[in-house]
Amino acid sequence: MTSTARNGETAQRILDIAERLMQVRGYNGFSYADIAETMRLTKASLHYHFPRKAELGRCLMERYTENFLGALSRIDAATGADAREKLSRYVSIYADVLNNKRMCLCGMLAAEYATLPKSVKAEVTRFFDANETWLAGVLEEGTRNDDLKFSGQPGETARSIIATLEGAMMLARTYDDAERFNRAARRLLADIAGSSSVRERQAAT
């Protein structure tokens, strides 16, 4: 398989459809037949671009992670964004996905982790590691500038943030109620910011 086969317009369209399917159904919830039907292609055409589903999953995860990291880089580059604002924009990435009736791709795959191919597992882990590293850096920045007040180490808090957002997405999806996610996210941000006033905490609920 050539680089052109993996990176051409058709290949990217395949990845777009696979991403949507995985964000809704998970890795084990779709097949090449689903993609072929949507694109009106033969399964043989799909196998030309991605010979195995494991390779499709790995390529998709690589793309998803790089796109997500690009979004984090844009947050970092935003003029005047302090640690609180960066965390708020980070939460907005998850909220936007949920508002499109989808789940975080890596959150979906994490639920199926035991059954994933090794190459896909590695990419899921890379995604969460990269997010933890970025969040820990923002949290450290926030404590240096006295923007944030939280207990525990930045790395531990970073893991807690990811766990809270991923879990809140799952519950919001279960109840078909995005506001469940929004309330949890507001509470999370208020707690990390060390909000002590009754008004701020009430606004988060």
In this prediction, residue 16 carries a pLDDT of 97
pLDDT digits over 145-184, tens only?
Answer: 999 999 889 999 999 999 999 999 999 999 999 999 999 9
Tell the CATH topology of 54-203. Tetracycline Repressor; domain 2 (1.10.357)
Q: What is the pTM of this model?
A: 0.88
| Residue 201 clears pLDDT 50, i.e. is over it | no
In this prediction, residue 5 carries a pLDDT of 53
In this prediction, residue 4 carries a pLDDT of 44
Q: Secondary structure of the chain in the HEC alphabet?
A: CCHHHHHCHHHHHHHHHHHHHHHHHCHHHCCHHHHHHHHCCCHHHHHHHCCCHHHHHHHHHHHHHHHHHHHHHHHHHCCCCCHHHHHHHHHHHHHHHHHCCCCCHHHHHHHCHHHCCHHHHHHHHHHHHHHHHHHHHHHHHHHHCCCCCCCCCHHHHHHHHHHHHHHHHHHHHHHCCHHHHHHHHHHHHHHHCCCCCHHHHHHCC
| Residue 76 clears pLDDT 90, i.e. is over it | yes
- Place 197 in a pLDDT band, splitting at 50, 70 and 90: very low
